[in-house]
């Protein structure tokens, strides 16, 4: 016993299950942006249950089966992800277009690693002997980790491997995003994404893991009888909607979308002091006066310090 708390593993299981369920339910009822609900889960909820994870031996399998499923259900709900969507991408760090979320099972591994490390590195010989005596088949899985960061890196590597090599649809789309992104863009993506309103924030999550309601996905989910695009009759995948429909192309929809975004950016940048703005849009000086027609970018801005910034939308 610990004060008035029974220390049996069964009591720990009951307590941690009840605590996690109640707290997630309370967060779910709050009128908060999804990013703030996830922040509460990550910084508050996991901290509240970490004591149970450290002092008890409730079992990794039980945590995986019971607690991960509860947390995953709420995370899906907050991000408006369908049941078929993988959470592997949102569990990645921010620089890999994830949300830096960890599931209870990962927190459990971290807590057990801390506990085992404390026994092993204790200056007290009796405590060291306790570590040796408990180095059985159940605990050896925690002893292989150096620290909590090592646990996190290993788990995230598994999720990235799942996305890169095992998931055909969502994984291939994720691989292309990683392949064509730049380090400078990756570093600012999280900051930009966090400032978006709820509907657009969730849209970006579903876009990255390819779970938007395209005809191809709707057919896969059993909602639509066909995967055909209603305009050109080709399979309507996410890539097709974004940049592949010939009917959209001929109607100028892609050009309109491109120019709308470019016009929005140009309208903001034209207020920059001591600068000259060139944009490939009506009403602006064309960048071709500096670059020529063949290498003309969408937007170019020159500053007083002789720096030049070039933007090319895709």
How many C-beta neighbours within 10 Å does residue 311 have?
15
Q: How confident is the model at residue 166 (pLDDT cuts 50, 70, 90)?
A: low
Q: Mean pLDDT of all residues in the chain?
A: 86
Q: Give the up-direction half-sphere exposure of residue 278: CA atoms within 13 A in the CB hemisphere.
A: 20
Phi, psi of 285 (to 5 degrees): -70, 130
Q: Kindly state the tokens that stand for 210.
A: 């390819």
Cβ-in-10-Å burial (0-12, 13-18, 19+) of 224 comes to middle
| Per-residue model confidence (pLDDT) at position 251 | 92
| Per-residue model confidence (pLDDT) at position 114 | 79
Cβ-in-10-Å burial (0-12, 13-18, 19+) of 178 comes to middle
The pTM (predicted TM-score) of the whole model is 0.80
Task: Tell me which of 293 and 62 has the higher pLDDT.
Answer: 62
Q: What is the C-alpha separation between 125 and 237, in angstroms, rounded? A: 62
Task: Tell me which of 126 and 284 has the higher pLDDT.
Answer: 284
Of 75-79, 144-148, 152-156, 211-215, which range is least confident?
Answer: 144-148
Q: In this structure, what DSSP letter does residue 145 have?
A: -
- CA of 279: how far to CAs of 185, 245, 269, 272, 312, in Å? 22, 26, 10, 14, 10
Q: Kindly state the tokens that stand for 244.
A: 């592949």
Q: Kindly state the tokens that stand for 132.
A: 């040796």
pLDDT at 172 over 70: no
Q: How confident is the model at residue 21 (pLDDT cuts 50, 70, 90)?
A: very high
Q: What is the C-alpha separation between 295 and 256, in angstroms, rounded? A: 21
| Per-residue model confidence (pLDDT) at position 133 | 67
The mean per-residue pLDDT over the stretch 152-181 comes to 73
* Largest interatomic CA distance in the chain: 80
Q: Kindly state the tokens that stand for 192.
A: 């930009």
pLDDT at 33 over 60: yes
Q: In this structure, what DSSP letter does residue 280 have?
A: S
| Per-residue model confidence (pLDDT) at position 175 | 73
| Per-residue model confidence (pLDDT) at position 193 | 92
């Amino acid at each position: 016993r610990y004060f008035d708390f029974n220390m049996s593993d069964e009591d720990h299981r009951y307590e941690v299950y009840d605590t996690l369920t109640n707290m997630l339910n309370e967060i779910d009822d709050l009128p908060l942006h999804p990013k703030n609900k996830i922040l509460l889960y990550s910084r508050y909820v996991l901290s509240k249950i970490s004591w149970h994870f450290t002092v008890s031996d409730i079992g990794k399998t039980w945590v995986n089966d019971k607690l991960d499923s509860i947390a995953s259900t709420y995370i899906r709900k907050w991000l408006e992800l369908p049941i078929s969507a993988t959470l592997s991408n949102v569990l990645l760090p921010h620089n890999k277009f994830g949300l830096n979320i960890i599931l209870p099972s990962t927190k459990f591994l971290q807590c057990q690693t801390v506990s085992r490390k404390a026994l092993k590195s204790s200056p007290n010989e009796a405590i060291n002997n306790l570590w040796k005596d408990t180095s059985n088949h159940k605990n050896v899985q925690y002893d292989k980790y150096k620290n909590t960061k090592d646990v996190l890196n290993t788990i995230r590597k598994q999720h990235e491997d799942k996305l890169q090599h095992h998931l055909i649809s969502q994984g291939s789309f994720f691989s292309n995003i990683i392949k064509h992104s730049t380090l400078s863009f990756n570093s600012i993506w999280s900051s930009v994404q966090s400032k978006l309103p709820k509907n657009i924030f969730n849209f970006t999550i579903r876009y990255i893991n390819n779970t938007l309601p395209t005809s191809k996905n709707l057919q896969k989910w059993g909602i639509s009888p066909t995967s055909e695009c209603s305009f050109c009759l080709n399979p309507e995948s996410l890539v097709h909607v974004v940049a592949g429909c010939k009917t959209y192309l001929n109607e100028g929809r892609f050009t309109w979308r491109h120019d709308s975004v470019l016009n929005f950016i140009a309208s903001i940048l034209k207020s920059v002091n001591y600068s000259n703005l060139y944009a490939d849009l009506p009403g602006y000086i064309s960048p071709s006066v500096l670059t020529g027609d063949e290498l003309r970018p969408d937007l170019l801005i020159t500053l007083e310090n002789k720096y030049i910034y070039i933007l090319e939308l895709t």
